[in-house]
Structure formats: structure tokens, C-alpha cells
Structure 1
Amino acid sequence: MKSSCYLNRVIAISICIIAFVSQIFATHNRAGEISYTQLSDLSIRAVVTTYTKTSSVSADRDSISIAWGDGSFSNVVRINGNGQILPNNIKKNVYIAEHSYPGRGSYLISVQDPNRVDNILNIDPPNSVNIPFYIQTSVSLLNLLFQYPNHSVQLLQEPIDFACVGKAFTHNPAAYDEDGDSLSFELGIPLMATGTIVPNYFYPNQIQAGLNNNISLDSKDGTFRWTSPQKAGEYNIVIIVHEYRKGIRISSTMRDMQIFVRNDCRDNQPPFIQTITDTCVVAGTKLEIPIFAFDPDSLNPKSKIKIEANGAAFYTDPPAQIDQHNQFQNSPIRATLSWQTTCSHVRKEYYFVVLKVTDNYLDTTGLAYLHTIRIKVVGPAPENLSSKPEQNSIRLQWQKPYDCETFDDIFRGFSVWRKEQSTILTHDTCHPGLPVNLYTQIAYLTKNVQGNQYYYIDSLVQKSKFYCYRVLGEFAKINASGYPVNFESSLHSNETCNSLAIENPVLLNVDVQRTDSLTGQVNVKWLKPDPLAFDTIRNSGPYLLTIEHKIANTNWNNIPQSIKTYTYFNTNWDTLFLHQNINTKAFQHNYRVQLLPANQSDHRSDSAQSIYLTLQPNDKSIQLNWYAKTPWTNYKFIILRLNENTQAFDSIGTTSLNTYTDNQLQNQKLYCYKIKAYGTYGILSIEQPLLNHSNEQCAVPEDKKPPCCPVLNVTGPCNQELHQETISNKLNWTNPNLSCTDHDAIGYRLYYYIDSKKVLLTEINDINTLEYEHVLSDIIPNCYGISAFDSLNNECPIIDTVCVQYCPIYKLPNTFTPNQDGSNDIFKPYPFRFVDKIEFKLINRWGKQVFETTDPKINWDGKDESGNPLPDGVYFYSCIIYYSGFQTNLKTKDQLTGFIELLRGKPN
């Protein structure tokens, strides 16, 4: 009998050893991605890069199979020999192959390998070694007759990184797109085959979840942040990079990467970097960005740090450079990122530079901090644009040479833009070009030269219209067919305005003289057509002059008092009209001038509105807003306020905007305002400035502003003893009166959330009370929020909700003595919380089920399902635990397996 038991044990151990050894030799893939270059209309070159476990010699792949997405496969040999050996049991493998497709379309390139590495904590733990590794990249074959061949995104930062338990972690793939296409980033889930996600995947923050364990991915620059890893081990995440051209997605690259979280660095503080986040420069500028890197542990004489830099700017000609890099040095390090930009660097997308500072705390690596700088290079503005009328056209000319004119690989020429009134614009280096809602493009890629000037002649002009122009430099690459693609405009030139002869009346003033609902007055002033341009033979007298008027959405009507008739054009005409007895308090007024000669040909001016002012009273302030649509440009506004002593309007401020806030006022006091506008047509022959006033408006400031909101913190039951009779959430918060300029909060309102529904928990009328304990009973809130209110019951909006993790716990003992001695006679779990039910099944060593229950308390008395006492021995259990899903209202589950040793012995 003993011999038989011994033999069975040897066989069992042997099977385990064989399985274990097999698992070791099968373990393999850590990370990888696929990139490609379009070689022709139907051909691409793909590069597959994988990172594997160096010690898995038997699973090493000197070749792989690439699925091209058209039903064909290629066996591809590794090109970097036996692979590049990296520290920390990592090997880098590169495979390159070319392929021709049967036709234009979209395809999915993929690679699958049977095994990942073992013990990945967030992929089907602990069975990750048996989960296939899979990566893919989508391909759109572009028509090279009209587009530039595509290069998929290059991820310059390796997909292996290191984190530390309890320390903030960041990673950036340093994405670079050679074609300047737009990129966006998305957090995905690892796959094991096309369209099949790996089983039992957990995002890293779901491993020992908690308030401080959070992850995020910046969709614009690809930075992955993990605030506080909680458990040491290996994790895998997927970052998907989408590539867009002209707003259309043309490729998606899946990076499956691995993060090593270590536990031997808890005493280490990560270094950090101080520098700018983004900048925009004009091509030709030498960019110099100071960088400061510091290690909080620098008092340790052995502590050193190094700066590394990567990104698109380092792959240009000339490339960006950084001094003091790639070598460990004493902290702090002061370095400079320098880049001599040229016109060939102009593109629509930003260049990303990823800075990484790492300390030397561990043997082959240490804690790191990443910082991403975005750099945009824009084309310089064309200079010295001017205009002059020539017969029936307007001639534009601007300075030659243009700073980028010799860069034939990217500079394509100039575009000319026009509008019918002047607009004041300032250069925004990060947003080149012109607002398309303001200007219309009238010329495209012009390069006409005369003498030392570029020029363009606008022949599509009309008399009596005022035209304003700007010029842009245009940049684009050339595709194989010679067509420009991926356009980007330069900064805009100065504005120049001109016109042919003025043949219509021109409005100069719509000036509110009196504000009243019954006796309001508006002064209308206008200019006669140019006598040298107005054809008095074709347009002979008599001349009927009318001022037309309307308000809001009504129709135009003649003002009877304004109608006048003139026999001759060259006599003095009355060009002023005072419109009286109208409501200027409630309405904005529109005017235009109509001139009808004897032949009834219509000569109308453009319409213009009076400036209409509105007021928004607030706490100790009043916000002024005004608007008027006019054919001239209002470039300056004077804010006038009624002086209660002199009863005159005094200037209190100047702005070029259509809004202004008057601060430091007294609540419950009346204040009255009006606006004085300065305008211009930008035409030398027309008087300037054009002065116009708004209606008057009055308001009383009052406190409608809520107080500042407190910042809430919630301590959940995770930090409480399981043996406590009650479970509660402990809330504490800041006093907003101590951190805000307004000190008018007098109390708080606490809210909780159930199924996204906000419910008032309690109101606290003491501003100095800063904590509250919410004892949990039948209601288990998902989240909490807090607001503050003032004496006028103005309540601040909740700035943030704080959600609670409830840390469900369920553990089972492994011994049990049902001998009726009053101690340990019932098998039951240790104290637990937040468990709805279980599926507990118990089997003996022959695999026969002897007991099962769904009661979390179990309360097993040692008897089988027929009520018979079971003998001493080892019993094996499987227990599926269903936790309460308070945060999502979904049940989450876990599984326990183990053994119970039943020892009856003899009762005392």
C-alpha cells in the first residue's frame, strides 16, 4: 500500500515537472509592433519588431509568418542575426519583408506567435504563457497619382519600460510620422488573434484597485500615465496609433508593450524635468529650449541621472540636438535642446520631442520621468504687401526674395486672399493661415515676378466696393505624379485695402445720439459717390435720395423724412440725417442709403447697424457686451460710464474686443454705460476714424456668484478593520474661504451618487466643520460630491466627484476540526465584506463532490451531502466569488482554489 502511494506521488510530481519545464521553454513574447512603407501603388515593405525573453532559447524565432491580409502569408527570416540582446532578459528581433497586393484597398497585416511570457499579472493570470501573442497594423493603399506614398507611424521609444510600486509612471511611444500626417492615440486591449481579445484581461489599475491607482492615455501626444502601481510584476498594455490624412484614417498601428513593475525601489524618488510643453516657431529660427533635470535623492553621493531624447525633430535635416545626454551625471543637469529650423521643416503637424530622465537606483535601470515637448514650425509671412488700382483691376505686389523661395522640395508658391472690408489680425504662430470664414481665396500657387517684386493682378473687381487683401506662402510635398499633397500655409502677410472708383453712397456713421424707448435718436452720415467716377451722363438727374431703415428681422422701409430730390449731382447735398422718435433702448437699428437717378438704376450703400450694448450684472462687477455689423472695421472701443456727480460719461477703459468687465463696483448701486467706437474702411480717400456710439444701458451689480468649492477627500472601508460593527465612508474637505479670494461661504452640502443620480446626504451650516462620517447600511454610494453655499444661497457647482473603492475581501482557512469541542466545529470564511454569493464546491481526493453551497458564510459541519460525517483527510475546493459591483452595478467575480484539511481527532 505504501509502495503504491509512493508510486502515485512520484508520477504526480513528474507530471508537474514536465508541465513546468514545458511552460518555461514555451514562454516567449513580451512586446512588439508592425510598421510599413508604401513602395508603389500596390506594394509595401513591412517591418515587424518583437521583444522576447532572452532565456527562452527553445522558443526563439529565427523566422516568423506574416499574414498580409489578402489571404497570403510569408515566412520571414530575422534580419538582425540572433537578435539584439538587451538588459533584463530582453531580446529585440527585427523581420523585414515586401509584398504586392492584387488591388488597391485596405488590408490588415498581422503576426501571431503561440506564446507570451509567463506570469503576466493582467493577462489571464497565472496562465499568460499559454495565451498567443498577436500584433497588427492596418494598411490603406493610396492612389499615388493624387497622394504621397504613406509611411506608417514610427514608434521611436522601445515598448519595454520600468515602473516602481507606489511611484508615478509615464511612458510615451515617441511617435513620428515622416509624412506629417495627423496622429491620435487610443488605449486598447491585447489580442490573441484577429478580432479576439485575450481572456481575463485587466487594465493595470484593476490590479489591486484603489483611489490612487489610476491610468490614462493622452489622445493627442500618446503619453500613458499610471499614478501609483500597486503590485510588482509584469503587465502588458496596448496603445493604438491612428494615422489621418485630410481627416481620413489611413492606418492604425497596434503596439503591445510590457511594463516591469518592481518592488525594490520603494525608497527611491523619481527624478523630474522642468521645461516648456509646447512652442511654435517661424522657419529659419534657431530654437533653443533650456531643460532642467533634478533628482530628489541627489544627496546620495551614488545617485546620478541621465537625460535621453527622442522624437521626430531628431530625424530631420538638420536634426535637433541636445547636450548633456545619454550619460549618467550628478544632479541637477542643465541641458539645452537646440534646433536650427529651416523651411523644409514646415508642416501642419507638431514635432514631438520626448525627454526622459532616469536615475541609476537599480542595476540596469531606475525610476524615470517623461516630458513631451510639442514643436510646430510655420512658414514666414510674405512681407510688404501693397496695392493700387489700375484701370479696372487692382494690382498687388510684395517683397522678393521670400525667405523660403529656394526650398523647391516644399515651397509651392503663394495664395492670394480677399474680403470686402478691413479686418485687424495679429499673428498666431501656432495657427498659421487665415480664417476661412473671413477671407476668400482668389489665387492659388502664384509666383509671378516683376523686377524685385512678386505681383498679382485682381481683375474680378467691381466699382464702389472696397477690397482688402492678404497673401500666404504655401508649402506641400510632391507625390510621384508631380502633384502637391499635405498643404500647409504660412503666417499671413500684412493687409492692404483698395478700391476702384466709388460709384455708390458710402455710410460713415450710425451713431446713437439719445437712448429712449420713445424719443430715441440715431445720427446717420454718408458719403456721396466719387464725382470723378460717377457717370452723370448715363446716370442723369433728377436724383432721389432715401434712407432705408429696419429693426431685427423686419423688412426694409423708407424713412419718409429722409427722402430728398436733387436736380444736379455736383451741387451740395445734405449727407446727414437725424432719425428721431425711435426706440433705441430696446432695439438695434439698421440703415442703408439708396440713390436713384432718372434711369432708375439702383445705387445702394452697404448696410450698417447701430452698436447695441447689453449688460450682465455680477457680484461687484458688470460685464458689457456689444455688437454691430458694419461695412467698416471697428478697431477700438472706449468704455464710457456715467459720472453721478458731473452727469457726464467718463472713459474707464479701452479694448479692441466686443466685451469688457467693469470690476470693483458696489453692489446694489446703479451704473450706466455706453460705448464709443473707432472705425475705418482702410481707404485713404475716406475719412477716419469713424466715430459711433452705442445705446446707453444701466444695471445694478448683485451677488449671483457662488462661493469657491471645497476639495473633497473620502476614506473608504479599505482602511478599516473587518471586525468593526459598522462600515462607513469618512469624508473630509478643505475650507474654501482659506484658499479663495472670496470669503463668503457659510456652509456645505454633501451629496452621494447612486446609478449616476445625485442625492443630498446632509447640509452643514458651520463653515469650520470639515469632516463627516457616512455610516453605510442599505445604501452603498458609488461616489460623493460637495458644494459650498453663501448667505444668498448661491451654491457652487461640484467641481469633482470622489468615487469609493470598497475592497471586497473573502478568504478561507485551510484547517477544520469538527469534533464538537465547541472550537472550530464549523468551516466558515474569515470575516468578509461586499460578497453577494459564492459557488463553493468541495471534492475528496478521488474527485467526488461531497458538499456545495452558495451561501458566503458556508457554515459546513463536516458532513457530506447525505448528512454523513466525512473522514479525516484533505479535501479540495473551488470557490467562485461574486462581489458586489457598487461602482458599475455589474457583478464582478473571482475564483479561489485550495484544500481543507479535516481533522476530527477526539473531543476533550
Structure 2
Amino acid sequence: MLKKFYLLFSILFMTVSAAWATHNRAGEITYRHISGFTYEITVTTYTKESSRPADRCALDVYFGDGTMETVSRVNGNFDQQRNCYIGVSLGGDIKMNKYTTQHTYPSVGQYEITMVDPNRNEGIENIDNSVLQQFALKSELFIYASGVPNSSPVLTNPPVDDACLREVYEHNPGAVDADISNSGTSDSLVYSLAVSLGDSAKALPNFVFPDEINPGPNNNISVDPETGTIQWIVPQRSGEYNVAVLIEEYREVNGRIRKVGSVLRDIQITVLDCLNDPPVITNTDDTCVIAGAVLNRTVFASDPNTGHEVTITATGDPFLVQGNKASFSPPAPSPSTSGSFRWNTQCQHIRKKDYDVVFRAVDDNPFNPTHISLANYETWKISVIGPPPTNEQAEPMGNGIQLGWDYNSCNNAVGYRIYRNVDSLGYSPSSCETGVPASLGYQEIADIEDPSITNYYDDDNGNGLKNGIRYCYLVYAYFEDGSESIVSNEFCSQLKREVPIITRVSVNNTDNQSGSDTVMWSTPTELDTTQYTGPYSYKVFRSTLINDFSEIYTTPTENSLSDLDTIFVDSNLNTRDNQHTYRIDIYSNGQRVGGSSIASSVFLEGTGQDNKVILSFDERVPWINNQYVFYRFNDNTGSYDTLDTTSVLTYVDTGLANGSEYCYRVLTIGDYSIDNILSPLKNYSQQACIIPEDNQPPCPPGDAMIDSDCELFTNIVEWENPNNLCDTVDDVVSYNVYFKPFRNEGDFQILENVPGPENTSVRFDNLESVAGCYAITAIDSFGNESPMTDSVCVDNCPEYRLPNVFTPGGDGSNDYLVPFPYRYVESVEMEIFNRWGEKVFETNDPNIRWDGTNEMQGGDCPPGVYYYTCTVYEIRLSGIQPRLIKGHVTLLRQEQTYPTD
């Protein structure tokens, strides 16, 4: 019987094998947009050439819109007898087959294109019963209502490879985005490993990845998500393996990054017990090129094994671009070979995304017919960047500077961005750096969205630039996809010295009535005295508010500018409380020519805190201060001691005595960025006197914790001493414990004050409710209170049970219906009914205390069973929560007798 069954199974298996075509090795589905909703769809399969009975002249392709088509093979020679094309032999028992058709989709949408064909070839190590498993491919096509239609990547390297046992294996599909030939840009491709597909284009059951067979630290297969290179380190068992790589396409559509398609490629790897090392590829370091320049690169490939020859090829975006395409000229195979890459780039090649070139080197041994060839891959990234603007110009004009530049190199720029800085930084971009790095500190002042406009007038948006300042500029072009050109050379200019330039506003003495400021300014050395003739004079204006100036002084007139006074002492001021701002105007023949930029005195302020004073000031001056010297008055010497010299506008003076007064001044030191003007510029603030006091709250206590005993009505709250937690020791003297009964209702209220910093716990006994939330604050010796700790909460464990019998009668024993000892109940709604449904008792008292009388009609209720409904309102952390209980109770009268045994 067993022999008959085995024979029958063998016959069935051979019949199924012949009918199901156990021949599929690898493949993918790609598509290309034709027009409108019409796409050309190509299924590429790699099959066992020796499995001729299973060879397919046509395959069924499902388009994902509810339709399918039987698509004929289109590659190879035409077989008249079979009336079909026969595919192309690749050697090694591998044949490549292409099936191509066109399909028009009904509308926008997402479509899955699939192909399922019996069956996979026999003996695949990581697929159970591979000879009985169907072979399936799938790709996704997204058609959006707006945006450029998508074509899938073209995969240029075949998905059938050999690998040597215990040697590193690599494969790269050589994916090139087909859309690059249409738009000049390309989609972002993201690669990931995936499960191979089977019946109904679903994941194969019990599929395992190749590295899960003989798993271990030296067995791992992965894919680089950016380059797509699959690496298996290292195969541990010979045999055939299949794995899929998912290639997803992403693109910006209407301002959002969206997925626009995907291709699932099924790959077959044959691991053989062979002694071979893959070739080595060198000189593929990433680089950049300025559009318009020619990029030449020699790429080398060699084989570490004696007698082997290497063939090197290249695929990638540069070979498909519009305009000048790249070329790669590899020589004939040899042990050590090199290929010449050349690309005459153009402006239309500028883009934000790098161009990928994938080099593939394959070895061979022409003297060994059993040689197993191995391949190696390297991805070379090329960035094509825009050239910089040229012929930069900056000329002063009135209160601003007129900028200009040329951008004749590329006409596909869409705009320019202009940046400004005070004085030169001497910046020069590195070879592949575009735009303006944020780290420079340059400020963007304009975005010109018209590439035909190559000039800009900078007057600080109508506010006017400042005299005495050297302004430096950088400009770069940007392109439709957001890519940026190399930035221009730094170019600088300053306003003409046609007006006075204030060089000093320094407080001489501090008083609320008799204070004074010294104001100095420079002569307008570039004033056109042929246009503006003498006599000349200056007028000094002052304001305690920025835009409320009043004239306070006019100098005597002089026929020569050089004879005019350029210093003024402003007296009888309240320098203690006010900061004063000045402007100097020049007059010619009694007519105003122009005015200086405004400049203010330095106004020092301070805040007294615990044993320290925090000093700060503001400065409204047209020059650049770079140093600040803080002083404190010494009562013993009657002079100021230097505290520190800093580059920031604040200073903290520590180690002071609370309650004592300390007086300070600050000296600012700066410069204009032009030559031939007073330098350095030194200006003093008024004197500011501050009394330090402890008005700072201490650090909050450490995390609070609660230990609750719900049945004993006890809570213990604990926390950490903040004096042990802060960087500086706080003078905590007590704690406030706050409480609120419900988590989401009400505010915290002080429950108790706990004296002594060492007392970090408190116990609450005999509580009516343990539910609630606690938070702790620390109090210092000056009464300052810290922020609260995070609250900690605990809930009640309510209990409410009723007896099932009671015996009213006045003997003092069990005379009332009452609950067993209950807890955490606020109130009840109790109703008791007789067996006819008539209410005999009701109450809201949790203690109930029904004595067996009929409250509705009067008189005693007869013995018997009574039914109740009781809504119990329990005190919970979330609030008062109702709980309904139902039951019955037996009422027995004391005079009632009972039968005995």
C-alpha cells in the first residue's frame, strides 16, 4: 500500500511540476508614463532557461483597476513555430524575459500592478517547498490630480547573482529614476528589504530572510536605504536564496512630500562553495561640480585573485539627463582596469538632490570554465551646483547702499537672496558649499523672486543705514527645487560722511537734578561744501523717549566745518532715573543738511537677590561695542573697583550681604567699522545702587511619594530635602503640604506646614477619605515659597455591604437594617419595596437604620422578604461616583417561632 501511495505522489508531483512551470527565479514590474492616464507597463522575469516546457510566451498582468491583460513577450528572437519572442539568454541557465503593454487608467488614484505565475524554481533554501510556491511581482502607481506624472525607476543591473560561501556578497539594482529625462530632477528613492511574494501577490508563507538560516554574528543581510546596495555578511550555507527589495519613490507634491510609486524587485542569490574574492573599485569619493564645468574621473577596478579579469560598467542619473549626458568608457577586461567618466555639465543639471552613479565590477577567469563570477558595487555621488553671482557692486546713495551683481552664467535661476553683516568676515565658501551658512551670523535682508532683477537698494527697510558702519553683503541665486548657488564674493561699502557721527554719550555724574552727560561727534568730512556753503552750525537734540526729540543747544556758527565745536556737556539732568538719547543735525546757511544716527547714554539697572546683584543694561548706539567693564563702588577708598570685563550685557555680583546697598557703573568700549574716526569709543553709565535681598524662591522639594493604607484610613507623604538637590544650598526652613480631594476638580489648599528642612514626611491618620492629591513646596527663611512638586495622588477603596436579615423588636439586638462597617461613602439613595412592589422605606443616610416600619402607610411591616435598590455615592479620586446595588433582606419579628428538629 505504501509503495502504491509513493508512486501516485510521484506521478502527481511530476504532472504538477510540468504544468506549473517551476522556473521563475527573479524579476520586477516597471512602468513609464506615456500621456494623460496612459502608461507603458513592463514585466521583467528571470527564469531557468533549461525549463523549456514551462517557458511563457505571455503572462497575465493585473493593472489594479479591476482589469487584466494577457501580455506577450517582446524581447529576443521570434520563434515562428511558437509564434512568439523567446527572450534573451544570459548564460548560467538564466533567461531574461520582457512583457510590455500599454494601459489607460480611468482616473486619478493608487493602483497595484501585479503578476502571479506558477511557479518558483525548486530548491530555494529560505522558501518552504519553493517548487510548489507561486511567483509574484508587484509595483505601485500613484496618479495625482496635480503634479508631474510619475514613471518608475529603471533597474539597470540584473537581479540574479552568484556569491561565494563565507565571502561578502553585494548587489545594487542600479535604479535610475526615469522621470529625470523629462523634468531634469528626480524623485527620492528609499530602499528596504521585503518578503518575496506568492499566491495572490501576498507575502510567501513561512518566508525567512537568507541570514535567518544558520543565524549568527557573522551572518547578516541588509540594504543601504539611500544607495540601495544590498550586503550579505556573510553567507554560511550554499544553495539558492531569494529576497525582495522594495524601492519607494517620494516627491514634493503641492508642498508636501508624498509617495508617488514603488517597485518590488525579487532577487535570487546562488551561494556556491568557491574560492574567489570580489573585485575592488577605487576613486569613487563623492564630489561636486559647478554647472558648466566638465567633470572627468578615472575609476579603477582590480581583482585580488591572480589570473582573474575584471569588467567595469556604470549606470545612473547622469546618463539619462536632458542636454549633455555623461559617458563612461571602460576598456577591455583585464586584471586591473579603469574606466573614464566624463560629463560636460550644464545649468539645467543643477539640483538639490545628488546624482548617483553606480559602478559595477565583475570578475571572470577565461581559463577556468567553472569559474564563479563575483560582483562588487560602489555608489558615487555627484552634486551639480550653481555658479556664484559675479561683478558685485555696492555704492552709497543717500541713507542706503545700492547693490548690484551679474548672473549671466545660468538663466534657470528663479531668484536671489541677499545677506548683510556689519564689517567683513573674510568669508570664502568651501568647494562644495552653497548658500550662506547660518553659523556666519549674516542676516538675510531680501529675497528677490525675479531672476531678471540684479540690484537692490538697502536702506534697512526705510529706516536708513547708520553712518560710520561698514556694511558687507553676500548674494546667491536659488533654483526651482530649492537648490542654491555658490555665494558671491563678500562686497562692502559705507555711507558717505556727509553728516555728523556721534562718538560719545557718557554720563559724567549721577543725580536726579544736577546730573550731566558728555556728547561728542565727528565732523562730516565728505560733505559737499560747494553745494552746502557756510556758515555752518550744529544743533543738538535730546529725548528721553526714542522719537520725542527737542532741540537743546545750537553751536556758534562758523564759516569752516573744522572750526565748529564737536563736544557738548548736557547739564541739570536726572541721570539717576532717565536714559537720554541724542541726535546731532548740521545746518548750512540756516538750512538743515542732515542728521546723525541717534545714540543713547548707557543705562545700568540691577536686581537684588539672595546675596547677589544681577546687573544689566541696554545700548542704543550706532557703533559696535565689544567690551564691557563692570565696577563696584568701594566705600573704604571712595573709588570704583573693577569687577570684571565681559563681552555680554549682564553681570552677576555674588557673595554680598543681604540688606546692604551696593553701587555700580559700567564702561562700554567699542568702535565704528570705518577708518579715520575716534577709536576706541568709551562711555560710562550712570551709577546704579541696589540692595540684595532674598526674594528668590528656594528649589522645589524632590519628587513626592505617598504611602497609603486604605483600610486603616492613613496616608504618609514623603519628599526629598531640596537643600541636598540644588547646586547652591538654599535656606529652607519648612514645607507646605497642599491637598485637593479630587484629581480634576478644585485648587490645591494648604493642609499643613512642616517645620525643619530635615522633616521630609508627614502622616495623616483617621481620615474620612484617603483619596486625593498632594503637592509640596519649600519655604526659606525670608518666606519665599518654591514651586510645587509634581502632584502625587491616591484613590479610595470604597466598601458598602448590607445584611440579608434583621430582627426589629426593640431588644437592642439587630433592631435596624444597617450596613456592615462601610467606608468612603458620601451618601446613598435607598428604596425598599415589599413583594407587591410597594415602597415601604427610603433614605439618603448611608447608615439606613430602617426599623421595619412602613414609612409610606404607617405601622409595622409584616415579616417576609423585602427588595431594595441602593445607589451608593462613593468618594473616589475622580470625584463622587455612583454605584448601583440591588438585593433583598428578610425581616423577622422577635416573637416569630421556628420549627425545630
Q: TM-score range by the shorter chain?
A: 0.5 to 0.7
Counterpart contact for 2:474–2:490, Cα < 8 Å: yes
Instruction: Quote the offset at 1:134 in angstroms.
Output: 2.0
Counterpart contact for 1:357–1:370, Cα < 8 Å: yes
Counterpart contact for 2:290–2:384, Cα < 8 Å: yes
Query: Given residue 346 of structure 2, which amino acid in structure 1 is its aligned partner?
Result: T
Counterpart contact for 1:510–1:610, Cα < 8 Å: no
Q: Which residue of 2 aligns with 1:34?
A: 29
Q: TM-score, normalised by structure 1?
A: 0.54
Q: Which residue of 2 aligns with 1:212?
A: 218
Query: Given residue 464 of structure 1, which amino acid in structure 2 is its aligned partner?
Result: G
Cα distance change of structure 1 residues 176 and 440 upon mapping to structure 2, 3 Å threshold: farther
Query: Given residue 375 of structure 2, which amino acid in structure 1 is its aligned partner?
Result: A
Answering whether residue 363 of structure 2 is matched by residue 359 of structure 1, we say yes
**Cα distance between partner residues in 2 of 1:129 and 1:165:** 24
The 5 A counterparts of 1:776-791 are none
Q: Which residue of 1 aligns with 2:134?
A: 132
Answering whether residue 245 of structure 2 is matched by residue 239 of structure 1, we say yes
Counterpart contact for 2:579–2:601, Cα < 8 Å: no
Query: Given residue 22 of structure 1, which amino acid in structure 2 is its aligned partner?
Result: V
Instruction: Quote the offset at 1:224 in angstroms.
Output: 1.0
**Cα distance between partner residues in 2 of 1:371 and 1:225:** 12
Instruction: Quote the offset at 1:212 in angstroms.
Output: 0.7
**Cα distance between partner residues in 2 of 1:446 and 1:509:** 44
**Cα distance between partner residues in 2 of 1:393 and 1:383:** 21
Counterpart contact for 1:531–1:570, Cα < 8 Å: no
Cα distance change of structure 1 residues 186 and 262 upon mapping to structure 2, 3 Å threshold: closer
The 5 A counterparts of 1:253-272 are 253-265=262-274, 267-272=275-280
% identical equivalent positions: 31
Query: Given residue 382 of structure 1, which amino acid in structure 2 is its aligned partner?
Result: P
Cα distance change of structure 1 residues 691 and 120 upon mapping to structure 2, 3 Å threshold: farther
Q: Which residue of 1 aligns with 2:851?
A: none
Cα distance change of structure 1 residues 504 and 435 upon mapping to structure 2, 3 Å threshold: farther
Instruction: Quote the offset at 1:583 in angstroms.
Output: 11
State which of 295, 314, 325 in structure 1 corresponds to 2:319. Answer: 314
Q: Which residue of 1 aligns with 2:352?
A: 348
Counterpart contact for 2:250–2:261, Cα < 8 Å: no
Query: Given residue 404 of structure 2, which amino acid in structure 1 is its aligned partner?
Result: Q
Q: Which residue of 1 aligns with 2:388?
A: 381
Cα distance change of structure 1 residues 578 and 269 upon mapping to structure 2, 3 Å threshold: same
Query: Given residue 333 of structure 1, which amino acid in structure 2 is its aligned partner?
Result: T
Answering whether residue 610 of structure 2 is matched by residue 591 of structure 1, we say no
Larger Rg computed on CA atoms: 2
1:783-834 deviation digits (Å, cap 9, x = unpaired): xxxxxxxxxxxxxxxxxxxxxxxxxxxxxxxxxxxxxxxxxxxxxxxxxxxx
**Cα distance between partner residues in 2 of 1:691 and 1:223:** 64
Answering whether residue 299 of structure 2 is matched by residue 285 of structure 1, we say no
Instruction: Quote the offset at 1:579 in angstroms.
Output: 8.0
Instruction: Quote the offset at 1:135 in angstroms.
Output: 1.9
The 5 A counterparts of 1:231-630 are 231-246=237-252, 248-265=257-274, 267-298=275-306, 302-316=307-321, 317-325=323-331, 327-329=332-334, 331-361=335-365, 363=370, 365-390=372-397, 395-399=402-406, 402-405=408-411, 411-419=412-420, 424=425, 425-434=427-436, 438-439=443-444, 441-448=446-453, 454-456=454-456, 461-465=461-465, 469-476=473-480, 486-496=481-491, 542-544=541-543, 560=576, 563=579, 569=585, 589=616, 591-593=618-620
Instruction: Quote the offset at 1:263 in angstroms.
Output: 2.5
Counterpart contact for 2:31–2:151, Cα < 8 Å: yes
Cα distance change of structure 1 residues 497 and 359 upon mapping to structure 2, 3 Å threshold: same
Q: Which residue of 1 aligns with 2:107?
A: 103
Query: Given residue 312 of structure 2, which amino acid in structure 1 is its aligned partner?
Result: I
Cα distance change of structure 1 residues 679 and 339 upon mapping to structure 2, 3 Å threshold: farther
Instruction: Quote the offset at 1:120 in angstroms.
Output: 1.4
Counterpart contact for 1:470–1:492, Cα < 8 Å: yes
**Cα distance between partner residues in 1 of 2:460 and 2:489:** 21
**Cα distance between partner residues in 2 of 1:510 and 1:176:** 67
1:643-689 deviation digits (Å, cap 9, x = unpaired): xxxxxxxxxxxxxxxxxxxxxxxxxxxxxxxxx999986x7899999
**Cα distance between partner residues in 2 of 1:208 and 1:88:** 27
Q: Which residue of 1 aligns with 2:228?
A: 222
Q: Which residue of 2 aligns with 1:51?
A: 46
Report the 3-state secondary structure (helix = DSSP H, G, I; strand = E; otherwise coil) of the residue aligned with 1:445: coil
Query: Given residue 267 of structure 2, which amino acid in structure 1 is its aligned partner?
Result: Q
Instruction: Quote the offset at 1:564 in angstroms.
Output: 5.2
Instruction: Quote the offset at 1:190 in angstroms.
Output: 1.6
**Cα distance between partner residues in 1 of 2:519 and 2:299:** 60
Query: Given residue 221 of structure 2, which amino acid in structure 1 is its aligned partner?
Result: I
**Cα distance between partner residues in 2 of 1:290 and 1:470:** 36
Instruction: Quote the offset at 1:567 in angstroms.
Output: 9.7
1:603-632 deviation digits (Å, cap 9, x = unpaired): x769978689xxxxxxxxxxxxx98699xx
Cα distance change of structure 1 residues 439 and 564 upon mapping to structure 2, 3 Å threshold: closer
5+ unaligned residues in a row in structure 2: which ranges? 76-84, 507-517, 528-535, 548-573, 588-595, 630-645, 651-667, 684-901
Query: Given residue 235 of structure 2, which amino acid in structure 1 is its aligned partner?
Result: P
Instruction: Quote the offset at 1:354 in angstroms.
Output: 1.5
Query: What is the root-mean-square deviation of aligned Cα atoms in Å?
Result: 4.8
Instruction: Quote the offset at 1:240 in angstroms.
Output: 1.3
Instruction: Quote the offset at 1:49 in angstroms.
Output: 1.7
Query: Given residue 371 of structure 1, which amino acid in structure 2 is its aligned partner?
Result: E
Q: TM-score, normalised by structure 2?
A: 0.54
Cα distance change of structure 1 residues 51 and 461 upon mapping to structure 2, 3 Å threshold: same
Query: Given residue 487 of structure 2, which amino acid in structure 1 is its aligned partner?
Result: H
Instruction: Quote the offset at 1:68 in angstroms.
Output: 2.0
Query: Given residue 249 of structure 1, which amino acid in structure 2 is its aligned partner?
Result: R
Report the 3-state secondary structure (helix = DSSP H, G, I; strand = E; otherwise coil) of the residue aligned with 1:197: coil
Cα distance change of structure 1 residues 77 and 456 upon mapping to structure 2, 3 Å threshold: farther
State which of 188, 193, 205 in structure 2 corresponds to 1:187. Answer: 193
1:339-362 deviation digits (Å, cap 9, x = unpaired): 332223222221212222222146
Report the 3-state secondary structure (helix = DSSP H, G, I; strand = E; otherwise coil) of the residue aligned with 2:13: helix
Counterpart contact for 1:527–1:575, Cα < 8 Å: no
**Cα distance between partner residues in 2 of 1:238 and 1:252:** 16
**Cα distance between partner residues in 1 of 2:205 and 2:90:** 29
Q: Which residue of 1 aligns with 2:875?
A: none
Q: Which residue of 1 aligns with 2:204?
A: 198
